[in-house]
Amino acid sequence: MHRLHAGFSKKAQMKIQQMAFVLVATFIFFALVGLVYFSLSLANLREKAQTLADNEARETIKTLAGSPELTFTSSSDCSSCIDLDKAIILKELPAYQSLLNLDYLMIEKLYPNSTSRECTALNYPDCDKITIINKGNIRASSAFVTLVRWDSSIGSFRYELGRIHASGKNLTG
């Protein structure tokens, strides 16, 4: 009787093992390439989302100067001036802060120079910063504006140079 023996040669087994290792290595390589691609795409997507939020903050800066809550309405010659008296009042209203889609909003007086401190109802106008919204240390966009306040010592409005800083909602952190 003849026995049929399925004898595989060692060379054929080695070729099968080599092909299996090459297939596994190829799969791992493409998986790693895919992971790198998706992580870069996700980082780019977060960067684009933050850019859009910053652009929204810049647009908000442009519209804040003309908003009824901050605009100077006593004179028609300064339609985009910010009324500092109104800003001090808005600082004390937390309901207003929640309406804005911002993480940071600050009005800073640049000229004429005064003491470098935060404005409150007690030290106003001898101050130079009015922080309306502050939700942490945030990179903000800024724009120059004209600030107006009533000066009782001269019995008239005083015009000053200022800057408004704003930052959109932080989407990456």
Residue 71 domain-assigned (yes or no): yes
| DSSP-assigned letter for residue 79 | T
Residue 135 lies in a domain: yes
Domain-located, residue 132: yes
- 7: tokens are 């004898």
In a domain, 145, yes or no: yes
Contact 73, 82 (CB under 8 A): no
- Least Cα distance to 70 among 151, 146, 167, 128 occurs for 146
- The per-residue pLDDT for 34 is 95
Number of domains in the chain: 1
Q: Domain for residue 123, yes or no?
A: yes
Check whether 101 has a pLDDT greater than 80: no
Does residue 49 belong to any structural domain of this protein? no
User: How big is the CA angle at 129 (ends 125 and 135), to the nearest 5 degrees?
Assistant: 140
User: Does residue 84 lie within any of the structural domains?
Assistant: yes
Q: Which of 2-6, 56-60, 168-172 has the highest mean pLDDT?
A: 56-60
CA distance 108 to 116: 10
Domain range for 126? 54-168
Entry pTM: 0.64
- % the chain with pLDDT above 70: 90
Query: According to the model, what pLDDT value does residue 170 have?
Result: 66
